[in-house]
Amino acid sequence: MSARRTLLLGALGLAVAGGLWSLSAPRPMDASALAALDGDARAGSAVFLAAGCGSCHKAPGREADPEILSGGREFASEFGTFIAPNISTDPEHGIGGWSQAEFINAVMRGVSPDGRHYYPAFPYTSYIRADPQDMADLYAYMMTLPADATPSRPQELGFPFNIRRGLGLWKALFLSDDWVVTGDLTEQEARGRYLSEALSHCAECHTQRNALGALDTGRWLEGAPNPSGRGRIPAIAGPDFDWTEFDISAYLESGFTPDFDVVGGTMADVVANLQQLDKEELDAIAAYVMRAR
């Protein structure tokens, strides 16, 4: 191989590597736009419930203290085991030292305060559709919660999934703030879509994923294999789902199915959160789910 050809190939390789490095870079939101937001902790408490923050980040064995968000819960997947971090107000081991902008970028863009990508086990793939004002309210509320100095455990992932920079390429392919269910929605259906597709991130469990772990929007809410490998998460849309709008709202309010079975598993935490919201919010979710069918 001639020296000239070697140089050309080397230059091409460097250009490709540089392009991939640039494409994989974290892309936070505009700081100036976030600086104008003023969070309301009271409003943020409802966002906290709808988003299910406590369900994932409460400490195992400390269910009696649901506001202590020291993390540690394990989530098995085919890529490895993800472990919920400490998001209490502890300034060293939690998020107590984060600014509002850093918090919103973490939640809506999956970018850490030090500029690293978060894994999409953290459902920023849904939260990206949220209203930044709601996230500012959520931040204000979470800053009122107690601190806990439990260190976050590292994620248990093997190569190549432990290379966070590669998540930038994943985001370039799959991270989108587009709504999945579109069309001429009523005001109630649009509210339900916001609650379901953004805050409550229903699809993160109830929708099947592709080989790279992204949601298959062509099978939206039609059920999915349990990431733990045990059983299947049921459909809440599609031909296998025959509940009525009343059934859905009543289930979210009471925890009872139309056949009077009691909600169980991780869905019990979801219902425990949502049943604290106004009934109108549950009715809106039900209207959206019926529309999604």
pLDDT of residue 240: 81
Domain assignment present for residue 19? The answer is: no
Same domain, 117 and 248: no
Beta bridge pairs of residue 81: 76, 156
Burial string for 252-290 (b: 16+ CB within 10 Å, else e) reads: bbebeeeeeeebeebbebbbbbbbebeeebbbbbbbbbb
Residue 85 confidence class, pLDDT cut points 50, 70, 90 = very high
Cβ atoms of residues 124 and 108 within 8 Å: yes
Cβ atoms of residues 260 and 165 within 8 Å: no
CA distance 25 to 165: 7
Same domain, 91 and 209: no
Q: Tell me the CATH number at 76.
A: 1.10.760.10
- pLDDT 10s digits, 161-208: 888 888 999 999 999 999 999 999 999 999 999 999 999 999 999 999
Distances in Å between the Cα of 27 and the Cα atoms of 120, 167, 175, 205, 237 are 15, 12, 11, 26, 33
Beta bridge pairs of residue 116: none
Domain assignment present for residue 169? The answer is: yes
Domain range for 204: 187-292
| More confidently predicted of 265 and 18 | 265
Residue 16 confidence class, pLDDT cut points 50, 70, 90 = very low
pTM, whole model, 2 decimals? 0.90
Residue 22 confidence class, pLDDT cut points 50, 70, 90 = low
Same domain, 251 and 117: no
Same domain, 65 and 118: yes
| More confidently predicted of 129 and 29 | 129
| Residues whose CB falls within 8 Å of the CB of residue 133, separated by 6 or more in sequence, listed in order | 37
Asked which of 44-53, 104-113, 160-169, 198-207 is least confident by mean pLDDT, the reply is: 160-169
Query: Closest Cα to residue 51, out of 238, 281, 283, 288?
Result: 281
Domain assignment present for residue 87? The answer is: yes
Per-residue pLDDT for 14 more than 50? no
Q: Tell me the CATH number at 269.
A: 1.10.760
pLDDT averaged over every residue in the chain: 89
Q: What letter does residue 129 receive in the DSSP assignment?
A: T
Per-residue pLDDT for 130 more than 90? yes
